[in-house]
Amino acid sequence: LFLSLFPDFGLSLADVRLKNPAYPVELASTSSAVLSVDLASMLSDQIQVREISTEDFHANYYIDEEGNSIWSIAADSGAASAPDSDLPSASSSASSSSPDGQETGDVTGLSVERLRIANASIDIQDLSQGARYQIDNLTLDSRDTNIDGRPFSIDLQFDYENNGMSAAVPLAIRSEVVADINAGKLQLNDLQFSVTPMLVSGDVTINGFNFSPSYEGSISAAPFDVLVLLESLGMREGQQDLNFGVDTDKLLSFDMRFNGTDEQANIPAFNIEFAGANIESDAQIRLASDLAPLNVSYTVSAGALDLSPFFPESSGDEEPAPAAAPDSSETSPQLNEAAQYQPETELPVDLINSMTLLGEISIESITASGMQFEDVNIFTNVEDGLLDIEVTPISLLDGGLRSTVRLNTRSSTPELQISLTADNLNLVDLAPYLSRFNTLTGFLQLESTYTASGNTVESMLDTVSGNTAFSVSENSVDIGVIKQVFTAIAALSPTGEAIQQWPDVMRFGDMSGYVLLEQGLESKQDVKLRMDNFDITGSGQIDLEAQSFAYDMLFTVLGAPHPQTIPVNELYHNVSWPVDCSAAFAEEVNRYCRPDFTQVREIFTQIGSNALRNELQETITDQVPDELQDAARGLLRSILN
């Protein structure tokens, strides 16, 4: 501790630590803190502070599993120091002395010649929410800071980390500030906010914050690479870019004007230049009051968006490169520990129940890797705890696609309903994007309806139930897998079948089926596919983590009256052949399915016995006298059984 009285009042502290006796964790600490004040100014109405500075300041904000903060006792004791809660504070007394709520006198002036914070850090940990945030290397520098209306500059820089990010994100804020406390006005001129590679600049003015606050301003950002920004924020892994220089197709720029009061906020113009199109939007926000909930309305319109640069084409033969392991040396060990626990993603139930929303998104077209969505119109509505999203018919692949989504948050467990309809999607145009569709052509009709319930995204995925029904008209199908399975089956047949004479590609008058799903994406599913006289039914599961599937199927060639598109011996009509379909998604299609040979042999044995029995029955009927037929049949049963 060092104390000086003349010519300035000065206080210098070293190795300062602040603790709550109830917790082992320090509230705050600093290696040094300096305060210097012009002594004469303390006797006037203009206090002049020469310097406020700290070195290596660190603060902890810690909340335990029960939601208790290490700062809570200090707050409680502060409240306890004023036991008579009915006594008005000084500020409230001052404001209430004026009938119109405006201030009755000027506030004492205050200026700080030098405000400096060097190498500060803040650690925020909330165990009740599983959240961890950290601010490091914080520096703040400002000269002639005042509340008298004289302009001064402020420069703030720090590194930000969140729950195990692979690297800290450097952020910086700079501005020329004009603060006039007596006029109730604050101006941020030449405001700059930077995070690599984005630089946002603008101006903000706040008026009347002493009695009736209002604000207005504008901000803009010069073109920046979206992917590089996502990498900086830890939302995308860094990748080696083979293109040198700036890729203009991936640049985004924006400008926005806004204004508002303590009751509402308006964004009359928010324009974005991105993906070769201009995106125009506006929004109005009326804040919640005692009589009405939060109310939001918005519109978004855009031209032709080309997102192809963000979906680079790759050869289907290429295997994805393994993701690079994060460099643990660059990540705080405490953050790594926090990252091991990732809480489930909560649905915004409270927000949906406390607001009304009406909005519309209209986009001329969206192109991604050659696939084009035209006439995209999305309507959103939130009212009385119901979120409704409607996607009107979108032109896609020579057909149309439409969908509705409803999230009901009125009950204790939110319920989700999703429907999707596809009309006449040309599978030929879809094949380049889904390689597994290159064995099928035609026009797809599809109806899907699914429901789910839960308070988190994860619980919703675990309870998804519903069905998808589909059909393909004007189709042609590569039946290579079917031929392969039946060739293997025919190898065990005592009579043999000419499976290889089947054509490789067939057309079916009826090609339709369905998928039934209950209790989650990875739960047991029932599937069915009918192609004229060929029927596939079965059940199984998908393992999303292992990127694989496993289904127990039955392949059946039906007899009359079904069209005999796939020809087999009548002896094998309506016989269900067990087939094991299990493989990794990345496997070749011809390795997806194989017969269960043990059961196939048993079926052939049973078919042979049935054929012999039928032949002997016919012989008995044709050649044995009527009075002896019952005895002959009894003898036959005893022999065959």
pLDDT score for 623? 59
DSSP state of 106: P
Name, in order, each residue with C-beta under 8 angstroms of 587's C-beta and a sequence gap of 6 or more: none
Single-letter residue type at 115: L
Region 538-546: mean pLDDT is 89
Region 529-549: mean pLDDT is 92
pLDDT score for 639? 56
Taking the model in full, what pTM does it have?
A: 0.76
- Is the pLDDT confidence value at 1 over 50? yes
pLDDT band at 82 (very low <50, low <70, confident <90, very high): very low
Both tokens of 518, joined, read: 């209950």
Q: Which of 142-156, 434-448, 460-474 has the lowest mean pLDDT?
A: 434-448
Region 164-168: mean pLDDT is 69
Give the β-pairing of 440-453 and 58-63. unpaired
pLDDT per position as a tens digit, 87-128:
444 444 444 444 444 444 565 678 888 899 999 999 998 888
CA distance 321 to 313: 15
CA distance 555 to 516: 18
pLDDT per position as a tens digit, 450-497:
999 999 999 999 999 999 999 999 999 999 889 889 888 888 877 666
Question: With pLDDT > 90 as the criterion, what percentage of the chain qualifies?
Answer: 46
pLDDT per position as a tens digit, 568-579:
888 788 889 999
pLDDT band at 337 (very low <50, low <70, confident <90, very high): very low
Asked if 569 contacts 577 with a C-beta cutoff of 8 angstroms, the reply is no
CA distance 419 to 139: 52
- Is the pLDDT confidence value at 161 over 90? no
CA distance 271 to 254: 6
pLDDT score for 314? 46
pLDDT band at 148 (very low <50, low <70, confident <90, very high): confident
Asked if 13 contacts 31 with a C-beta cutoff of 8 angstroms, the reply is no
Region 361-374: mean pLDDT is 91
pLDDT per position as a tens digit, 13-32:
899 898 888 888 889 999 99
Both tokens of 302, joined, read: 């855009």
Region 532-536: mean pLDDT is 95
- Is the pLDDT confidence value at 343 over 80? no
pLDDT score for 89? 43
Q: Which of 411-420, 473-482, 523-532, 566-575 has the lowest mean pLDDT?
A: 566-575
CA distance 399 to 424: 5
- Is the pLDDT confidence value at 287 over 90? yes
Name, in order, each residue with C-beta under 8 angstroms of 493's C-beta and a sequence gap of 6 or more: 604
**Cα dihedral across residues 432, 436, 442, 444: positive or negative:** negative
- Backbone φ and ψ of 150, nearest 5°: -90, 135
Mean pLDDT, the chain, integer: 82
Is 472 exposed, middle or buried, given 0-12, 13-18 or 19+ CB atoms closer than 10 A? buried
pLDDT score for 586? 84
- Listing DSSP states for 297-344 in one string gives EEEEEEEEEE-GGGS----TTPPPPPPPPP-GGGS-HHHHHHHT----
Asked if 192 contacts 177 with a C-beta cutoff of 8 angstroms, the reply is no
Stated length of the chain: 641
CB atoms within 10 A of CB 385: 16
CA distance 375 to 373: 7
Q: Which of 424-433, 535-544, 627-636 has the lowest mean pLDDT?
A: 627-636
Both tokens of 130, joined, read: 């599983």
Both tokens of 405, joined, read: 């989504």
- Is the pLDDT confidence value at 243 over 90? no
